[in-house]
Amino acid sequence: MSTENSIELPEGITTVTQNGLTAYRVQTSLGSGLVYEHGAHVAEWQPAGQDPVLWMSDSSDYADDKPLRGGIPICFPWFGPGRDGQHEPGHGFARLADWKLVQAEVSESGQAHLALELTGDQVADLAGFPSDFTARLDVAMGTILGLEFTVTAGGQQLDYEAALHTYFDVADIEQTMVEGLDGARYLDKVGGGEAQQEGAVNFTMETDRVYFSDSTTRIVDAARGRTLVVEKSNSANTVVWNPWVDKAARMPDFGDREWPAMCCVETVNALDNAVFLQPGESHTMGTAISIA
Active site (annotated) includes residue 165: yes
Q: Which of the following is catalytic: 165, 174, 179, 281?
A: 165
State how far the Cα of 104 lies from the Cα of 14, in Å rounded to an integer. 10
DSSP secondary structure of the chain: ------PPPPTTEEEEEETTEEEEEEEETTEEEEEETBTTEEEEEEETTS---B-B-TT---STTS--SBSBPEE-S-STTTTTT--SSTT-SGGGSBPEEEEEEE-TTS-EEEEEEEEGGG-S--TT--SS-EEEEEEEESSSEEEEEEEE--SS-EEE-EEE-PEEE-S-GGGEEEES-TT-EEEETTT-SEEE--SSEE-SS-EEEEEE----EEEEETTTTEEEEEEEES--EEEEEE-HHHHHHH-TTS-TT-GGGEEEEEEEE-GGG-EEE-TT-EEEEEEEEEE-
Nearest to 208 by CA among 266, 152, 149, 130: 266
Q: Is 60 in contact with 70 (CB distance < 8 Å)?
A: yes
Residues designated catalytic: 165, 266
